[in-house]
Amino acid sequence: MATIKVALVGQPNVGKSALINSVGNARLRVGNFSGVTVKKEVVRFNRDGYDFEITDLPGSYSLTDYTIEERVTKHYLDDNEYDLILNVVDSTNIERNLYLTTELLALNKKLVVALNMTDEAVKEGVHIDEKQLSKILGASCVKTSATEKTGIDELIQTLIKTYNLRENRFHLQFSEVYEEEICHIVSFLEEKKIQCKISLKALAIKLLREDKETYQRFHEEPVWVELQPIVNKGYQHLYLHYDTKDLDDIFNDEKLALAKGAVLETVQFEKQVKTTFTDKIDSLLMHQFVGLPIFLFMMWGLFQLTFEVGSIPMDWIDAFFALLIDATKSFLGDTELASVIADGAIAGVGAVVLFLPNIFILFLGIALLETTGYMSRVAFLLDGFFHKFGLHGKSFIPLVSGFGCSVPAYMAARTLKNDRDRLLTLFIIGFMSCGARLPIYVLFVGAFFAEHHAGNLLFLIYISGALLGIIAAKVLKMTVFKGDDEPFVMEMPKYRLPSLKLLWHTVSGQAMMYLRKAGTFILLASVLVWFASNYPKHPEVEQQYQVKVEQAENETAISTLNNELALYKLEHSYLGFIGHASEPFFAPLGYDWRMAVALETGLAAKEVVVATLGVLYGLGQEEDEHSSGLVDKIRANISLPAGISFIVFVMIYLPCLAASMVFMREAGSWKYLAYLFVFTTATAWILSFVAFNVAQALT
């Protein structure tokens, strides 16, 4: 049985994912393209005696190296084996979509064009003669509608027919001047019998566009000595004819001319005088005065839902893991194995699973904003403000997500197409205080300030972190991420009702990715922290305390002795050694070794900072942020300036290990994680030092 390998290509928001889901009963496999975080979806199904394997490539406006998505699509089409290309086109925006089609035709691969969203095109008075367009392009064009599932069978039959064609029949013709220079290069390549996976015409076009990879390939070949003068002569001819030396502009003009010509020949537009549904909604949501408040209100609502609704199943999950921990200890007894499984592995995994409801709700809200077409409007509204600080309009969503959890926030930064904008956003997400830091803030605010000021102070902490993040972005933009701001060009898609199937696929996929990525790292971190805080053992000391416990007269004395033993064991554990070794680094900030250890355990998970402080101050591990005993101990052992400094440090320094690993994967290299560690640690130390000394001077 023959297998037809199809590369699914299209610009963003043309309905590729909806079309691929419309095939029905397909086996979907989701992963990442090699070396990058861009999602890769492969659909397999059988039809009419053929096995289909469709690879959904990222939405791309052009086959360039400007964005990750475009780079992945370009490399896949150039370097991978496939039988034909299925180009999905938005019928309501056909001229703009045909720009990409012209580049695909230049590859000289078998091509089928799916004129998607024909139902919307008809409503808008756009009528396409697909037969005439097929003749002009030399590639079969099929009208489809993913939402109404029309044209799917015809599309599959056309794919089979195209697959069985012996040769391509494309009619890709540029202007006379451009074609002349292409012919010169192709003739030379034919004479030299150059072999290439793509057509020689496509190779010639890449040379005329100064494609970096093509240049690198030929620079290493002896033939370049003869080829370079021919290419340079072609440049000079194009410069003279077009009165510009911008080769991208020249090629874009060629694509524009091809697309316009095809549209004039095949498309009819009915004149519409009435305001469209999209225009009516945009008049409100894109209003210069009320547009931003409406969005902020919507995000506030999503933020409230994330934590209010998410807290309900969180209590159930927390109770389940508490029972599982108790059952494990009861079954295995008082052993080291029971401790590492219950207190290490199960507790660590539980800490991650606990946040899954929040993650699910947050992703659902963001997916709704994206699939309805509203996200593009939001980015446009916020771009002006964020550009003043070196950020992009799309940076807002990852930053807001950071108030819930840094893991999905880092993942949400994928919506930023430009590498520099995405990296800059990734570097400042940690300034947005995640939910795991809240118990630390509550503990220290309760210890040093009156209860009626607590709410205002917590709000101030969160706002301060966000402001510091924006300022840090400006500093990084001026120093590390230098360069001119990228122009903000974004398509404004029409508003559409989201597909429930697509929503479920998106949200469930991201939730599972969160569990796989975060769960594995937090599990490892929890076991490492357990080991570092429980070893080496001190049997002689434990025996001495056991004798004292047996001689104790009441429960209070027994509790005190047990806490003393726990403190001794922790202080003389590997974790304690690390704390004492790092104490000189933190001493200028007013911290002792206990506070240093608490910060270091927070690198694994911020959730364990409060429990670690409870152990270190001799109160046992059952303490939480509402424990009056721990509040009293914090107040007695830590000064107000040191407490303020500690809050500032927690607000800025590196997120938990799970988030750090996700940051590394999203950034694409370990070196960026090292830079993040140095940047956040240095910033936290300096600002904490300033906060400590200012507070000390004032008090």
Highest mean predicted confidence (pLDDT) among 391-395, 569-573, 600-604, 636-640? 636-640
Query: Rounded CA gap, 692 and 648, in Å?
Result: 9
pLDDT of residue 493: 62
Helix axes 419-428 and 454-479, enclosed angle (nearest 10) = 150
Pairing of the two strands 267-269 and 140-143:
unpaired
Given a cut of 90, is residue 87 above it in pLDDT? yes
Highest mean predicted confidence (pLDDT) among 2-16, 60-74, 596-610? 2-16
Question: What is the identity of the amino acid at 547?
Answer: V
Q: CA angle at residue 399 from 398 to 404, to 5 degrees? A: 90
Which tokens in the block code for residue 536?
């080496």
Specify whether the CB–CB gap between 103 and 75 falls below 8 A: no
Q: How far apart are the first and last CA of the chain?
A: 82
Lowest mean pLDDT among 79-88, 226-235, 545-554, 661-670: 545-554
Given a cut of 90, is residue 679 above it in pLDDT? yes
Query: Rounded CA gap, 69 and 698, in Å?
Result: 53
pLDDT of residue 684: 95
* Nearest CA-CA partner of 343 in 619, 516, 528: 528
Query: Rounded CA gap, 284 and 278, in Å?
Result: 10
Specify whether the CB–CB gap between 179 and 173 falls below 8 A: yes
* Nearest CA-CA partner of 637 in 447, 469, 491: 447
Query: Rounded CA gap, 578 and 572, in Å?
Result: 10
Given a cut of 80, is residue 93 above it in pLDDT? yes
The pLDDT tens digits for 98-141 are 888 988 887 878 899 999 989 888 888 889 999 888 888 888 99
For residue 36, what pLDDT band results from cuts at 50, 70 and 90? very low
* Nearest CA-CA partner of 67 in 415, 478, 425, 485: 415
pLDDT of residue 30: 44
pLDDT of residue 525: 63
Specify whether the CB–CB gap between 320 and 356 falls below 8 A: no
Query: Rounded CA gap, 580 and 573, in Å?
Result: 11
* pLDDT average, residue stretch 612-637: 64
More confident residue, 417 or 690: 690
Specify whether the CB–CB gap between 198 and 111 falls below 8 A: no
Q: CA angle at residue 435 from 433 to 436, to 5 degrees? A: 95
Query: Rounded CA gap, 632 and 627, in Å?
Result: 9
Beta bridge partners of 140: 112
Contacts of 352 (CB under 8 A, 6+ apart): 515, 518, 519, 522, 523, 658
* pLDDT average, residue stretch 312-332: 82
Beta bridge partners of 90: 116
3-state DSSP helix/strand/coil % of the chain, to nearest 5: 65, 10, 25
For residue 32, what pLDDT band results from cuts at 50, 70 and 90? very low
* pLDDT average, residue stretch 242-259: 78
pTM for this entry: 0.55
The pLDDT tens digits for 526-545 are 677 778 877 888 888 888 88
The residue whose two tokens read 């009819």 is 268
Query: Rounded CA gap, 474 and 189, in Å?
Result: 49
Beta bridge partners of 141: 113
Given a cut of 50, is residue 620 above it in pLDDT? no
Question: Over the chain, what is the mean pLDDT?
Answer: 80
3-class DSSP string for 83-144? CEEEEEEEHHHHHHHHHHHHHHHHCCCCEEEEEECHHHHHHCCEEECHHHHHHHHCCEEEEC
pLDDT of residue 408: 73
